[in-house]
């Protein structure tokens, strides 16, 4: 992990010498307004969306000024009412004394005239251009060697809606959007605590994408926060960051493993729960997904609904998912191994039924399974890419038609169609789409091992999978925790979903000295009132 981070840092970060050269090339703002405008226009030739609005400020001796913004990224009402109108009409009506020092006049304009809350002074043209390319408005004035970058972001964005990939029956229906500040506000609305820290940075030489790191100070282990920032520093100078998936591929520990080591989600309630467990969240402007680090495999089999439903129901549903995962990964391999090498394990009547159904089928069980599994994956991929109504229709009708036609053509046995259908249903029980993909792919090597070595091959395949998963780490934490290494105290939220008042052990991601909130340790209301009403 250390070697990988060092290589990434050497490959992507600029050396100190290069940074000093870039710093020397930064062009300061001239006191001549026209020179500044000419320099910016020279950089942005053939850019029709860049707007330059020149005007005069003052009454007796007006000062030349200009606003620069990007059409489509700004709130034009704010520019007109709170900047342009204030600088032209209201400033002229107040008739400032032009004999004052120029710096005093510019300070008066900044503090008393512009009625926008977010504004900052910059001293070079690079910061000016970065400001208006981010959706803000730059104000340049003649005779002033500085500029104001005024917050006027106002582009069109998608409204808050329920995530399509994380639907729940019980629980909040809100999901993140593509605007990072809307997403952070949704977290802040749920966590009214000064311990919630939100650190921002820009990554990408060309995209300058806003990336935000969230954590709970005093709860999170400081080593995790330090490691996250270290890995983000290593990709600071890449060309572009377009989505959270780009960052995930750069900072994960084992990029060639089929298993994802960083979970993503679109649900604010899920993010808040993980923050309180001591994890770090990474958000990217332009993506509704956020990354959760560190991540353990069991997270992919848990649903937010587990914690909103009653204990028994949540535990049963969790075991159904475990059975679904085992079915999706192992059932085809078991069928191939038993029907090929271990027919004595099959009851006589069932063995005769399978033998009769396979009469006339020219292929061995492995080829049958591969034909059906590949056909199923093709249908699944096609249904995802097509529009909603057409995609669902294709998935159902296509599976029925292909399965029936394959049986009638004697390409596969009817039992194989049932096995593949059960495998598909089992894969649908996995709440996380990111985890369902590797689980679907793993069954192909297991099928081949089962066809060659029988049940011994299936067992060998599972041993290899478990050894690989045990060797994985996510930001230094074991991927199969708390199963490997075994932490019995944390199994209350793995194999079962224990009552909340019994989850008294701090998760491994928390700060070592931090204890769970007292609210999680209370006994249920009914137990606290035990014996009440006896004297009534």
> In this predicted structure, what is the pLDDT of residue 534?
47
The residue assigned the tokens 């080829």 is 367
Tell me if residue 263 falls in helix, strand or coil: strand
- Angle (CA) 409 411 412, round 5°: 115
Do 139 and 50 share a domain, yes or no? yes
Q: Kindly give the pairing relationship between strand 147-150 and strand 196-203.
A: unpaired
Do 322 and 464 share a domain, yes or no? yes
Helix (H) or strand (E) holding 407: helix 388-408
Do 94 and 44 share a domain, yes or no? yes
DSSP letter for 84, please: I
Domain annotation covers residue 301: no
Domain annotation covers residue 505: yes
Do 215 and 268 share a domain, yes or no? yes
Do 406 and 412 touch, CB atoms closer than 8 A? yes
> In this predicted structure, what is the pLDDT of residue 532?
43
> In this predicted structure, what is the pLDDT of residue 111?
76
Do 283 and 252 share a domain, yes or no? yes
Q: Kindly give the pairing relationship between strand 119-122 and strand 50-57.
A: unpaired
- Reported as a single tens digit per residue, the pLDDT across 197-211 is 999 999 998 989 999
Domain annotation covers residue 278: yes
Distances (CA, A) of 445 to 50, 192, 332, 340, 343: 55, 49, 11, 16, 22
Which phi-psi region, left, alpha or beta, contains residue 287 (left: φ > 0; alpha: ψ -120 to 50)?
A: beta
Domain annotation covers residue 372: yes
- Reported as a single tens digit per residue, the pLDDT across 437-479 is 999 999 999 999 999 999 999 999 999 999 999 999 999 899 9
- Reported as a single tens digit per residue, the pLDDT across 234-280 is 998 899 999 999 999 999 999 999 999 999 999 999 999 999 999 99
Q: Of 150, 178, 205, which residue sits at a domain end?
A: 150
Q: How many domains is the chain built from?
A: 3
Tell me if residue 50 falls in helix, strand or coil: strand
Mean pLDDT of the chain: 84
Q: Tokens for 211?
A: 């990336």
Do 55 and 178 share a domain, yes or no? no
Tell me if residue 490 falls in helix, strand or coil: helix
> Does 531 have pLDDT greater than 60?
no
Nearest in space to 215 (alpha carbons), one of 195, 229, 232:
195
Asked whether the CA dihedral 485, 490, 492, 497 is positive or negative, the reply is negative
pLDDT band at 2 (very low <50, low <70, confident <90, very high): very low
pLDDT band at 14 (very low <50, low <70, confident <90, very high): very low
Enumerate the H helices of 13-118 as residue ranges: 16-25, 33-43, 76-78, 85, 91-94, 102-108
| Residues 290-306, mean pLDDT to the nearest whole number | 93
Asked whether the CA dihedral 525, 498, 512, 200 is positive or negative, the reply is negative
> In this predicted structure, what is the pLDDT of residue 103?
67
> Does 492 have pLDDT greater than 70?
yes
Tell me if residue 406 falls in helix, strand or coil: helix
Distance CA 37, CA 65 (A): 10
> In this predicted structure, what is the pLDDT of residue 16?
44
Do 399 and 356 share a domain, yes or no? yes
Least confident of 40-54, 181-195, 347-361: 347-361
Do 131 and 175 share a domain, yes or no? no
> Does 518 have pLDDT greater than 60?
no
Spatial CB neighbours of 211, under 8 Å, sequence gap ≥ 6: 200, 201, 202, 203, 232, 241, 247, 282, 283, 284, 285
Q: Which is more confident, 132 or 390?
A: 132
Do 216 and 288 share a domain, yes or no? yes
Distance CA 88, CA 84 (A): 6
| Residues 81-89, mean pLDDT to the nearest whole number | 84
Do 101 and 171 share a domain, yes or no? no
Do 186 and 258 share a domain, yes or no? yes
Q: Tokens for 20?
A: 């000093």
pLDDT band at 89 (very low <50, low <70, confident <90, very high): confident
Q: Tokens for 376?
A: 């199923």
pLDDT band at 106 (very low <50, low <70, confident <90, very high): confident
What domain range includes position 332? 316-469
Domain annotation covers residue 433: yes
Do 172 and 111 share a domain, yes or no? no
> Does 520 have pLDDT greater than 70?
no
Domain annotation covers residue 300: no
Which phi-psi region, left, alpha or beta, contains residue 447 (left: φ > 0; alpha: ψ -120 to 50)?
A: alpha
Q: Of 95, 121, 150, which residue sits at a domain end?
A: 150
């Amino acid at each position: 992990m250390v070697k990988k981070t060092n290589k990434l840092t050497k490959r992507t970060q600029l050396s100190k010498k290069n940074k000093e050269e870039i710093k020397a090339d930064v062009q300061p703002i001239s006191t001549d307004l026209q020179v500044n405008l000419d320099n910016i226009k020279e950089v942005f030739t053939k850019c029709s969306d860049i707007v330059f609005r020149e005007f005069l400020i003052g009454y007796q001796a007006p000062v030349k000024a200009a606003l620069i913004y990007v059409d489509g990224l700004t709130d034009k009402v704010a520019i007109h009412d709170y900047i342009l109108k204030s600088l032209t009409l209201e400033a002229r009506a107040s008739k400032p004394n032009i004999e004052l020092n120029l710096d005093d006049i510019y300070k008066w304009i900044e503090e008393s005239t512009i009625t926008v809350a977010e504004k900052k002074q910059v001293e070079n043209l690079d910061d000016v251009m970065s400001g208006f390319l981010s959706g803000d408005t730059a104000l340049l004035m003649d005779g002033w060697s500085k500029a104001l970058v005024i917050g006027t972001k106002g582009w069109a964005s998608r409204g808050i809606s329920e995530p399509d990939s994380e639907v729940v029956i019980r629980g909040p229906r809100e999901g993140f959007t593509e605007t990072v500040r809307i997403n952070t506000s949704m977290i802040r609305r749920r966590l009214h605590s000064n311990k919630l820290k939100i650190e921002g940075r820009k990554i990408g030489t060309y995209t300058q994408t806003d990336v935000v790191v969230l954590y709970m100070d005093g709860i999170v282990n400081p080593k995790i926060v330090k490691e996250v920032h270290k890995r983000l520093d290593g990709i600071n100078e890449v060309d572009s960051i377009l989505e959270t998936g780009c960052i995930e591929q750069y900072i994960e520990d084992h990029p060639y493993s089929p298993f994802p080591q960083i979970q993503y989600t679109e649900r604010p309630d899920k993010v808040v729960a993980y923050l309180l467990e001591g994890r770090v969240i990474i958000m990217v402007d332009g993506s509704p997904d956020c990354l959760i680090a560190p991540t353990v495999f069991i997270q992919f089999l848990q649903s937010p609904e587990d914690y909103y439903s009653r204990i028994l129901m949540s535990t049963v549903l969790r075991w159904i998912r475990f059975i679904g995962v085992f079915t999706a990964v192992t059932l085809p391999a078991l069928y191939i191994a038993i029907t090929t090498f271990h027919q004595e394990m099959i009851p006589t009547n069932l063995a005769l039924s399978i033998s009769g159904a396979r009469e006339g089928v020219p292929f061995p069980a492995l080829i049958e399974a591969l034909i059906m599994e590949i056909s199923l994956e093709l249908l699944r991929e096609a249904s995802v890419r097509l529009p909603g109504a057409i995609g669902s229709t294709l998935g159902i009708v296509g599976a029925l038609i292909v399965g029936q036609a394959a049986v009638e053509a004697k390409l596969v046995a009817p039992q194989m169609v049932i096995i593949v259908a059960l495998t598909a249903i089992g894969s649908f029980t996995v709440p996380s789409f990111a985890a369902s993909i590797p689980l679907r792919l793993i069954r192909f090597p297991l099928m081949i091992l089962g066809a060659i070595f029988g049940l011994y091959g299936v067992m060998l395949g599972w041993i290899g999978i478990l050894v690989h998963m045990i060797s994985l780490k996510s930001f230094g934490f074991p991927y199969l925790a708390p199963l490997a290494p075994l932490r019995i105290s944390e199994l209350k939220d793995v194999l079962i979903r224990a009552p909340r008042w019994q989850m008294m052990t701090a998760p491994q991601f928390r700060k070592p000295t931090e204890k769970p909130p007292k609210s999680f340790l209370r006994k249920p209301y009914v137990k606290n009132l035990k014996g009440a009403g006896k004297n009534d």
